[in-house]
Chain A
Amino acid sequence: MEFTKEQFFIVTGASSGLGEATALELIKQGASVVAIARREDKLKELKSKCANPDNLYIEVKDLSQDIDSLPDYVKTLREKYGKFRGMAYCAGINFIGSIRSINYQDTLDLFNIDYFAPLFMAKGILDRRNNIGKGFSLVCISSSDGINPVKGQSIYTGAKSALILTMKSISKEVSSYGARVNCVSPSMIKTPMTVGENCVLEDDNKEKYPFGWGEAQDVSNMICYLLSDKAKYISGQNYIIDSGGEV
């Protein structure tokens, strides 16, 4: 067991894909998790899948609304659960951003949840009154597109590359009190974002993925490692998880 139930983590995007896998792994390793997403039914399903359901706390929230108030939102969570040991920001959206089909509103919608929301959730949780101080760890999911974009990802790439360097800058600010900040950047992982009936993204270029498409656990294992004290000497980094093919 890497963690104890007194150690609370926020996981955003916990209702699906990489966030769900991260919440399950943290619970499995003994931690308590505050699971955030919009779909309450999916969060309840997650709770029933947990190794220890009592350690999962559901918070239904649309993180792209009223982004200015997210730091206060984190404060209310701290008042409810206590100081946080870490956060995994796994919420996000993606769509084809062909230069022919983009419009400003869609661009804003994507930036809201993929860039501005993690920024203001980070502002909230990096407030020293809301975290445990030394040993605190924040991990944000960016994307290999944030470094090596493919066509049709103009907007997504903008948000994800901005996130990597923003988090790097922030890591330098908060190192003074012992907090760590890192990103992970997966390429193609099988989640509802990339497979299934609601998905229009598709990429079967096998050469880019020598080990095939990844599993959600391939990413959540790295996130949980970075959240743990095993990674106590690691901050300001961006870890690419792409089976060695793409970036």
Chain B
Amino acid sequence: MERQEFLEKMQNVLQTEKELSFDTELEELEEWDSLSAMATIAFLDKNFNVKIVYKDIPSLKTVEDIAKKAGL
């Protein structure tokens, strides 16, 4: 998956109307809650076979951090 496609997909995972960039701070998004965290975990697992769990979530500060986890 290309980085641009990743960004578009994250837009759907987080279901936010605010346009995401790699610099977007997750804490600034109203939608960044436990359900978004859960959807992010499922997204990384299904698309990149990357396993993270809830306790890894606080270490994710920006969209870039999620992309790094995905290896992009």
Does B18 reach chain A (CB closer than 8 Å)?
Answer: no
* Seed contacts A96-B39, A96-B42, A100-B36; 18 additional CB < 8 Å A-B pairs: A95-B45, A95-B46, A96-B41, A98-B39, A98-B42, A100-B12, A100-B13, A100-B35, A101-B39, A101-B42, A101-B46, A151-B38, A152-B38, A199-B51, A200-B51, A200-B52, A201-B53, A202-B53
Does A198 reach chain B (CB closer than 8 Å)?
Answer: yes
Residues of A within 8 A of B35 (CB): 98, 100, 151
Residues of A within 8 A of B41 (CB): 96, 200
Docked CA distance A152–B38 (Å) = 7
Determine the residue in chain B with the shortest Cβ distance to A201: B53
Residues of B within 8 A of A173 (CB): none
B13, B15, B53, B55: which has the most chain A beta carbons within 10 Å?
Answer: B53
Does A197 reach chain B (CB closer than 8 Å)?
Answer: yes
Question: Closest CB-CB distance, A41 to chain B, in whole Å?
Answer: 20
B36, B41, B54, B55: which has the most chain A beta carbons within 10 Å?
Answer: B41
Question: Closest CB-CB distance, B15 to chain A, in whole Å?
Answer: 6
Contact residues, B19-43 vs A (CB, 8 A): 35-36, 38-39, 41-43
Give A residues with C-beta under 8 Å from B: 95-98, 100-101, 106, 151-152, 197-202
Number of A-B contacts (CB under 8 A): 43
Once A100-B15, A101-B43 are accepted as A-B contacts, the answer to whether A198 and B51 lie under 8 Å apart by CB is: yes
Question: Closest CB-CB distance, A163 to chain B, in whole Å?
Answer: 22
Question: Closest CB-CB distance, B65 to chain A, in whole Å?
Answer: 17
Are the C-beta atoms of B53 and A199 separated by less than 8 Å? Answer: yes
Residues of B within 8 A of A96 (CB): 38-39, 41-42, 45
Instruction: Specify the main secondary structure of chain A where it touches its partner.
Output: loop
Candidates A100, A106, A197, A199; contact of B39 at CB < 8 Å:
A100
Docked CA distance A198–B50 (Å) = 9
Docked CA distance A101–B39 (Å) = 6
User: What are 19 A-B residue pairs whose CB atoms fall within 8 Å in the complex?
Assistant: A95-B42, A95-B45, A96-B41, A96-B42, A96-B45, A97-B42, A98-B39, A98-B42, A100-B12, A100-B36, A101-B13, A101-B39, A151-B35, A152-B38, A199-B53, A200-B42, A200-B51, A200-B53, A201-B53
Docked CA distance A179–B11 (Å) = 53
Residues of B within 8 A of A100 (CB): 12-13, 15, 35-36, 39
Question: Closest CB-CB distance, B14 to chain A, in whole Å?
Answer: 8
Docked CA distance A101–B35 (Å) = 11
Residues of B within 8 A of A199 (CB): 51, 53
Question: Closest CB-CB distance, B3 to chain A, in whole Å?
Answer: 20
